[in-house]
Chains A and B, each alone.
Chain A
Amino acid sequence: MTAFRAPPKHHEGPVEWVRVHLFDGVFNSILTLAMIALVVWAVPPAAKWLFIDAAWHGAARDACEGVSGACWPYIGARLGQIVYGFYDAGERWRADVVFAFGAIGLAWLVIPRLPRKGWVGGMMLTLYPLVAFVLLSGGWFGLPIVSTERWGGLLLTLVVAAVGIVASLPLGVILALGRRSELPVVRVLCVAFIEVWRGVPMITVLFAASSLLPLFLPDGWEFDKLLRALISIAFFNAAYMAEVVRAGLQALPKGQYEGAAALGLGYWQAMIFIVLPQALRTMLPGIVNNMVSMFKDTSLVTIIGFFDLMGTIQAGATDLEWASPNVAVTGYIFAALIYWAFCFSMSRYSAHLEEQLAEGERR
């Protein structure tokens, strides 16, 4: 028989933490040392390039001449273009108003304590796009017209993302309902639609919008280039949204459908009053995750010749006035920061929603 042994000592304190979390065994110790080496190898040079060796002041190209780090004056000089594109300088306040209202509305929806979420959400989906459109394109109330060709930078990225997200949601719901419909014709059509859009790369869809759409419409129907891209993006996103919605519909207990039928509700009544309100709540994290991909995918409009955030940065990278490797990389890093800030906050929000849902389930 083995002798009794004293219970293991209960260790605490930073030294013990380091032992348990970093140097627990030979393999882990080697791993930790390798990771420290990696950090030491990568982080100080990167920080040096970004801050210490970087040019900070100046307004023209010579500010970055001979500098071996980042070229921040370039960002300063181009900030207007990066945010608004070629939007007329005197009219940029209109974009600012749209940004501000959007930010306030979103904040209202996201902050849990604020009341009347349904009402604000409804406004954001109906009135806000209308006001934004009137403000941005002009032509009414004495606002000078700014053609969509001049829209660009972060403004265009946000417009494309917002239209893609707002339009794809109702389309996605309809497609998902169609996919689960009892009518074979509707079901087959919806499955075909969803699978075709999900099976092809987005860039081919954008090509199709720019070169095929004009062919299939009658002569003389002039379509704005941006509108064509937006339509295709909305359809493309709707197919992906439909799959998120379908997952939400499937997750809903069957009793809900049966209960609605037992109450004598028709198909649309059951869907609108019983099924969708519950299913939408569970699919919200998925929808927000989808929004992150859509936001990143907006950068593809660069390839078909738009100057969105990505396009502006890429144009700057090859611009002769500034062109140098440091300028290009500075631009990429700045754009990456903007994209990252938007996407990361959306994915955090989605994770938060997921936690909330899990909490509700546990109750």
Chain B
Amino acid sequence: MAERPRRAVWRDTHWRSIFAQALVLVALAGVAAWLVHNAADALTRRHVASGFGFLEHTAGFSISQTLIDYSEEMSYGRTLWVGLLNTLLVSAVSIVLSTILGFIVGIGRLSSNWLVAKLCTIYIETLRNIPLLLQILFWYFGVLQTLPVPRQSMTLGSWLVLNNRGVYVPEVVFGHGSWIVIATFLFGLAASFGLYRWAQHTQQRTGKRPVVGWAMPLLIIGLPVVATFALGHPFSLSWPELSGFQYQGGLSINPELAGMTTGLSIYTAAYIAEIVRAGLLSVARGQREAAEALGLPRQRVLWLVLIPQAMRVIIPPLASEYLSLTKNSSLAIAIGYPDLVSVFAGTVLNQTGQAIEILSITMAIYLALSLITSGLMNLYSYAHRLEGSA
């Protein structure tokens, strides 16, 4: 190692940086010790239990929507799972809906159709600039709660029933042997994908593309249809029907879930639309011009040339938008949808008073979700980096 010029220790950058860092650490440790001391003091004074033992205790309250078995006799730990699954459910559904809507609006904003472009701009500029909480409250208290009572439901045949108890749609009932149909469907899907890859490969090698388009619908739709008939209709639909004052049967979506999904999807779609627009604009102009010069029709230019290249720019901000959607689903507490925050950091916190443990667990879960997402994102960016760039 090269000899460092001799100077006074306090002028040497090396020693100064070590000293500064040590100072920061000591100060931090001091503050942390002070906070812990205060907390320990406060806990003994207030006679609040500490530790994670409460997770085993009986919860004693009911939850309006549970994806896993749950009853009041079960533990607080169980309520954590119920809440987390509800958070994941509302996030997953909203992610799918907002992506579809966001892509439509984002592509629409760049449309050559003046009316479509203007309406999409109005959509984005209106919904982005109104707080999500206000939108969720509007959908829940302003729309869903004011729907008529079940006896006077708004209906679309039996396909869609709307009333103040929720939204009802027919539900598919999987009868005996239905898994065989699903398996044939999946097989058809996999086989067509294989066929598609083979066709592409052959085209790249020989310049001639084998005509396989006719085989795909046969594989994906034909096989399962044949299987359905062969097995004697294993599927049936359960229709929502009015019995007494309630609707029975079918798939029922309670107003809280419906309000959350509507609000989250419509709000997030405005952001996704802007991401999609920026992505499409980022594709070099020559790409579109070259595709048009090759004689590709406009729809194909969009789907085969622009969108695949735009995806590289779209995906990273899209992932962080999904993440903020998941975090925003915590607004569920405002309308009583039993998500993680509402059940665990709300009801359980009020019952046990163990704020430190409960908020740490809640925050840690959200933090883990973000870290997983950004980890996956880094992997994606690495896999899809442009050749020749770092």
Contacts and interface: CB of A to CB of B under 8 A. Distances in A.
Interface stretch (B202-210, B211-219, B356-364): B356-364
B133 A300 contact: yes
Contacts of A219: 38, 41-42, 45
A340 B133 contact: no
B141 interface: yes
| Chain B: number of interface residues, binned into ranges | 35 or more
Classify chain A: how many residues form its interface, as a range. Answer: 35 or more
A11 B246 CA distance: 62
A31 interface: yes
Given A28-B112, A36-B115, A332-B137, A201 B17 contact: no
A317 to B, nearest CB: 6
Contact of A300 (B331, B345, B359): B331
Nearest to A343: B129
Nearest to B320: A198
Q: Tell me the interface secondary structure of chain B in the complex.
A: helix
B93 interface: no
A299 B133 contact: yes
B17 A339 contact: no
A203 B341 contact: yes
Contacts of B146: 325, 328-329
A93 interface: no
A214 interface: yes
Given A32-B113, A201-B341, A185 B38 contact: no
Interface of B: 17, 20-21, 24-25, 28, 35, 38-39, 41-43, 45, 111-116, 119, 125-126, 128-134, 137-138, 141-142, 145-146, 299, 327-328, 330-331, 333-334, 341, 345, 349, 355-356, 359, 362-363, 366-367, 369-371
A310 B28 CA distance: 38
Contacts of A28: 112-113
A340 B129 contact: yes
B345 A204 contact: yes
B298 to A, nearest CB: 8
Contacts, number: 167
B345 A207 contact: yes
B342 to A, nearest CB: 10
Which applies to chain A's interface (DSSP): helix, strand, loop or mixed?
Answer: helix
Contacts of A114: none
Residue of B20, B113, B126 contacting most chain A CB atoms (<10 Å): B113
Most buried by A among B126, B130, B355: B130
A332 B134 contact: yes
A195 B371 CA distance: 9
Nearest to A324: B146
Contacts of B362: 200, 204
A344 B129 CA distance: 6
